[in-house]
Amino acid sequence: MQEIIVSFVVSTVICVLLGPIVIPLLRRLKFGQSIREEGPAWHAKKSGTPTIGGIMFILSTCIATLILCYHDLHRRILILLFTAVGFGLVGFIDDFIKVILKRNLGLTALQKFLLQLLIAVLGVTALYYFGDVGTGLIVPFTTLVVDIGIWIVPFSVLVMLATVNSVNLTDGLDGLASTVTLLVGIFLTIVALLKRDWDIAIFSAAMTGGCLGFLCFNKYPAKVFMGDTGSLFLGGAVSVIAISLELPLILLLIGGVYLIETLSVILQVASFKLTGKRIFKMSPLHHHFEMCGMKETRIVLLFAAATVVLCGIAFIGLYNIVW
């Protein structure tokens, strides 16, 4: 328990200390965010805000995890770190193309998908091959653990890709993705602790602390954005933790905000193509609320409150399994 708390605190402190170093450096390197034209018009004032700030909590998460696991560094924790950092690297490549090469859309959809697929397959296959993840799926609100055998690999890859891209879509307002993921991280850390998966708990606590430290600079008005570098890392971390705990199904609950953000985009596109009409004023959903007149800070609080409620429901759903 003490190591988990220390992991959280160390990661938070490192991220906070990195802020005054990394943010001015990003400004000098002119790593400024380009705002997409199809976004809300008032977001144009954010243009030029340093991006790729996700490297701050990536470093803090990795450093805190390795420090706390140094004397008992299991292969599984290295796979978890490799997977999360691998997704962060894909995001960094995308951000680099946008910011340095001035291609606002970054990697093409196919390029990004193939790179994400590669990382997901490598990470999940390694966990399965070395026996660091079971073939069972814990079903919330029941006592069932469904063994799906080798199918755990493609299923986990699908969950990972869906989560990573959903977190990426959620990162559209100051502090939104970092706040929601902070709460999701707290849930996963507590569950890992209750299941006595100490290395996963340490990694999850480090990621959570990194989110808290980053929020000091990413809350409204943001001094830095995490970029795809950060959002893909967080998506990879959340998904690989849930998969390692045999809890990918619980992501549907605790990641409800991620899910509804993604569904809003899917429904918007489908409706426009089929009927020529839009369901939302703008997608993802957080932009719809903005167009309805809600302030960014209120939307973040609303989504955070929803995540707290969903995590509470998830705890009830796991009562017979974890407690």
Nearest to 186, CA basis, from 314, 301, 285, 80: 314
pLDDT in tens, 160-172: 999 999 999 999 8
- Digit-coded pLDDT (tens) for 193-233: 999 999 999 999 999 999 999 999 999 999 999 999 999 99
Question: What is the mean predicted confidence (pLDDT) over 23-46?
Answer: 70
Stretch 99-128: mean pLDDT: 88
Return the pLDDT at 295: 93
d(CA 16, CA 14): 5
Under the banding of pLDDT at 50, 70 and 90, the label for residue 322 is low
pLDDT, position 143? 84
The answer, yes or no, to whether residue 311 has pLDDT greater than 80, is yes
285: nearest Cα among 168, 167, 169? 169
pLDDT band at 73 (very low <50, low <70, confident <90, very high): confident
Output the average pLDDT for the chain. 91
Q: Give me the numbers of helices (H) and strands (E) for the chain, helices first please.
A: 13, 2
Q: Give the model's pLDDT for residue 297.
A: 95
Cα separations in angstroms, 31 against 14, 92, 96, 97, 226? 22, 12, 8, 11, 11
**Res 43 pLDDT > 90:** no
Q: How confident is the model at residue 106 (pLDDT cuts 50, 70, 90)?
A: confident
- The whole-number pLDDT of residue 74 equals 82
pLDDT for res 164: 97
Give the predicted TM-score (pTM) of the model. Answer: 0.94
